Amino acid sequence: MTSVPTLPLGTYKIPIIGIGTLAVTDGEALEKMLNAALEVGYRHFDTAFLYRNEHLIGKVLNKWFTSGKVKREDIFVTTKLPFDGTYPEGVEKFLKESLAALQLNYVDLYLVHFPVRIKPLNGKGLEAAEPLPTDHLGVWREMEKQVKAGRAKTIGVSNFNRRQVERLLKEAEIKPVCNQIELNVYLPQTQFVEFLQANGIIAVSYFSLGNPALKQQRIQSGFWPAGKPDVLADPTIKRIADKHNKTPAQILLKALVQRKIVVIPKSVTLSRIKENFQLFDFDLDAEDVEAIAGIAIGERARLGQFKPLQGHPEYPHPVLDG
């Protein structure tokens, strides 16, 4: 079994590749996906209260724990405070609900999912989100309490911009250890990643492969905009993949891993779950890295656009510093 490299997460460690679970709520499909991932060697699992699948993940992990196939300390689990829970009193409440669903005593990483608090969705999609005033420092104080109480080993943020991260760095007792952001070779956010890494904060990439499901979904909401460039079909990526006898997905993930960025690709296809994990038997050379840097598009490639929230003073996009 491949030994997965890790990156320092404060005094903790995070596997550099994990498996994402966004939008996988079918119990049978998710169980097959997680079992396949565990068999391949994945030990890092990324979920969120918002994904509505923590109970399914907990069921699978508990089976592996009770069978003795893996120990709890071998598994790294990330979950996230929901958008409508981004207020001080919501932090502990929602983490306890997540822990109960996951059948865990603690998570390895707990994230503030988004820097804008919204009203409860009550079954509606994020395109119907209504923003509320947001108290980042008040929320963060409660996040720190979860570490002290042992419910979270580490804490971080997701979708925060530089100004928001700097605010936490200035005021926090326990500093954020990571920022999970939309990041791929079309949207490399180079300067922002360098800022995070210089401050001891790991960048975790979501949408590392773009979002292949967009072609089939044809969703017209502001959160899933259509007509975006398809990074998996980029000819430069295809050429580099052929050169290394790898797939375009493997090249896209390797380009981030070589930058010491954690990747959490999602797939319910068993062959792709295995393929995405096979990143550690080759390296991109200087010519590859230069060519990949040349195809960056920047903000035009961003998929995670929350149009109903864009007037809020804490709405994070665009990241204007790279």
Active site amino acids = 51
* Residue partners of 209: CB distance under 8 A and separation at least 6: 184, 231, 232, 249, 252, 253, 265
Q: Which of 79, 83, 116 is nearest to 95 (CA)?
A: 79
Q: Specify the pairing of strand 117-118 against strand 131-132.
A: antiparallel
| CA-based R_g, the chain, Å | 19
Expressed in angstroms, the distance from the first to the final Cα of the chain is 37
Cα separations (Å) of 224 from 117, 213, 303?
Answer: 20, 10, 6
The neighbour count for residue 158, using CB atoms within 10 Å, is 22
322, 192 in Cβ contact below 8 A? Answer: yes
The neighbour count for residue 309, using CB atoms within 10 Å, is 23
* Residue partners of 136: CB distance under 8 A and separation at least 6: 112, 115, 164, 167, 168, 314
Q: Which of 313, 305, 312 is nearest to 126 (CA)?
A: 305
Amino acid in the structure at residue 237:
I
